[in-house]
Structure 1
Amino acid sequence: MLQRLVNDIKESAGNALRLTSLAGAVAIALFITLAFLCAAGFVFVLQHYGAVEACLAGAALFFVVTLIAAGIYTARKREAQRRAEKAAKAAAANVFSDPVVIATGLQIVRAIGVKRLIPILAVGGLALGLMASRSAASSNSEPEEE
């Protein structure tokens, strides 16, 4: 049984390696194809309009491709942020709706007492507010990398 498991792992790793190398070969071939297409377009524009126009046409083409890629990147980044925010809200809602958390909170209130707990909660709320404002300010001032 253990040998069968090891053989299955070896076979799946071999298949993954073969597929990865095939995908790499396809990516290289696609890159070369695009390079020749760009060269052909450049030569065509060069013969009909001149060197400056050919260079400007190539630059414009790659600028448009860059703008499209940047738009897709921005859209995916926003979508990922929305998903993360939804997950955080769902996790927070699930924590406070958990009966074990509520029972633990009630036991803490009973053990400490309401009069002693109010100042502790006030200081904790203040600390939480400061941490939230500090993290919001740092996320707005620092550029995010992905």
Structure 2
Amino acid sequence: MPINQPPTAKKSREMARVVSKNTAPEIAVRRLLHSMGVRFRLHRRDLPGHPDVVLPGKMLAIQIHGCFWHGHDCKRGARIPKTNTEYWVEKVRRNVERDAHTTAALGELGWRTLVIWECQIKDADVMKAIITEFLNG
């Protein structure tokens, strides 16, 4: 399918179900933070990229990225769809570019950013260690 051909009705229904807030990985990270006694804010619209989790007092932002959507180098993130390949490769490239810009913009404002990948969330102990190290700076 060429890059500018409209999607099929089935694909449109599938894509409409994709959400950007309150995803399962995001909720898992928030539960872990809460269990650690960390209090936070969600999706601050006044910050670049509207970080998923924000700790305003410490000027820390956490972005929780889906491996496929944000081009992670894991097995799931490296997967390339068999249909409409050009579109998806370009889409992920733009997402990666936007992520880099967002992280840089947050840094310019004095915020430290942690990116948590979907594939990292499977091991709670590893996640806790990553978050603890980030919080302790």
TM-score by length of 2: 0.23
Bigger relative contact order, structure 1 or 2 (CA pairs below 8 A, ≥6 apart): 2
Decide which structure has greater helix share.
1
* Higher Rg of the two aligned structures: 1
